[in-house]
Chain A
Amino acid sequence: MTYPGILPNTADALAAPFWAATRQHRLVAQRCARCGRFRWTPSEVCPDCLETRAAWTPLSGRAVVWSLAVYRRAMHPAFKEAVPYTVAMLELPEGIRMLGMVGTSTGDADRDGEVRIGDEVAVDYLDIDDEITLVRWVPTATGHVGENE
């Protein structure tokens, strides 16, 4: 089966540790060696304190939906067989935001109502082949937790 979407370049020097971790079903991000802030997306410098050193650190794997959108039409040919699918901007308790794909039973969160803004989601993993594992987010039993702000 061909994966209907865009796959990462897991050899990319900056992001390789992230993809190596997802392969083991772990979610990690760089944590600055000086100021302790988390970085996302992977970066060679901390945008807060300009430190270069960082440690790849496990994340809780939980997030709150800040906003979401439903692709009913593929806006890139790679996703032609993937629609409908739902994407979200997620707020992580570690103080970073990630864009992510959210899995629901129909893929269309507007129709199945399984994810709304303020809902908690948890990380899940999609093994693509022997080298690549993608991150997916799924609704949790906790459901609506409101927002951080």
Chain B
Amino acid sequence: MRLSEPRIAIAGVGATAQGELPGRTANEIAVEAIELALADAGLTKQDVDGLITCRNLQAHTGIDEQIGELLGVTPRFGATLDYGTGNFSLHLAAMAIRTGMAETVVLAYGTNQRSAKADFGIAVGGGAEMASVAGVVHVAGRAALAFRRHQHLYGTTEEQLGWVSVAQREWAQRNPLAIFRTPLTIEDYLASEPLVAPLRRADLTMISDGGAAMIVTTAERARDLAKRPVYVDGMAQRTAFRADHDADSLMRPWLGRLADDLWSTSGYRPEDVDALYIQDATSVWVLQMLEWYGFAPLGQGGEFLASGATRPGGSLPVNTNGGQLSEAYMWGWLHLVEAVRQLRGEAGERQVSGAEVALDVSSHDFLKGAASILTTRP
């Protein structure tokens, strides 16, 4: 079952170098990513009639009016999203295409947050000042509260959680784009000191610079382009507007309702998924979303991780790019880029054999979630 017509396809993806890109603006990095995605699709900027960009949280950059001007285009449809993760931009592009407001949309995100020394220490969202005054600063604090609660309810261990970071590092060693490729064993993980106990450095994203872009169009148009189309066969979102002080903003049971929507509207099931991408501001998000999306029963995500299922050679490859924990902090965008490359069979030594269906799930700021099913199935 498809949501509606026309079927949507990703026709091109682009990723810049990741890590430290000193002396460059976020918007310039986004434009480079757009050029790479256009080249990947075999298109030029004149072929694009939609532009969706992503505002940088810490700066007034990433606005479509800024990036469109740099790109020198006059698209039929232009928009800026105030939150990232790629999925939200992908869904907006699909809506623009299905309503006939655009046919071929370029989506982009660029950031220089590492070089610009952006401040991620202060909580954002409702009740942010009360949280900061209480000492709950940085995503690590709330992730640690959520994980310790999970430990308390289900007996999940630090070692089980450690397999998120260890497995993703194993994948990253097969990814030339990844920033962190030095080996990380479970022994290394356990021997490292907690930063915000019970979480360690390896459980947290390291801020980095970089850019990513995608070209989204109709399936019909994509079939004439340079690369094999990757179809978007499922989309769902959920927003749980809650203050930081709400338990649901930590454990996020509302993600389970998002998953129900995704599976029921797409007709896909968890067992259809050959490769899974989970946006990982912290490793705790991986544990949570494995459960809420139905890949492990609630409370058994730790055992699932420790079984090795998500590692190279495992039954459910997760974040084969290394994720944000090892590849780069690109707000989930590189998860989508990697999913497309895997489905096209372009992932080199980390290729998941026969991968036809990928699921990308992401969340923003404890209150927004989004998911997309990508496939090469005709």
**A interface residues with partner B (beta carbon < 8 Å):** 5-9, 12, 15, 40-43, 66-73, 75-79, 82, 85, 87-89, 96-101, 108, 110, 117, 134-135
Contacts and interface: CB of A to CB of B under 8 A. Distances in A.
Contacts of A101: 134-135
B195 A69 contact: no
Nearest to A71: B196
Nearest to B126: A41
A97 B136 CA distance: 14
Given A69-B141, A71-B141, A72-B194, 5 more contacts: A70-B196, A85-B135, A89-B250, A99-B131, A135-B134
Contacts of A72: 193-197
Interface in B311-326: none
A66 B141 contact: no
A66 B149 contact: yes
Contacts of B145: 67-69, 87-89
B246 A97 contact: yes
Range class of the B interface residue count? 35 or more
Nearest to B241: A47
Interface in B115-134: 121-122, 126-127, 129-134
A70 B75 CA distance: 50
Interface in B165-200: 193-199
Contact of B194 (A5, A43, A70, A98): A70
A99 B130 contact: yes
B327 interface: no
Most chain A C-beta atoms within 10 Å of own C-beta, residue among B146, B243, B244: B243
Nearest to A110: B197
B144 interface: yes
B134 A69 contact: no
Contacts of B152: 67, 117
A103 B199 CA distance: 20
Nearest to A100: B134
Contact of A5 (B127, B135, B193): B135
Nearest to B128: A41
B148 interface: yes
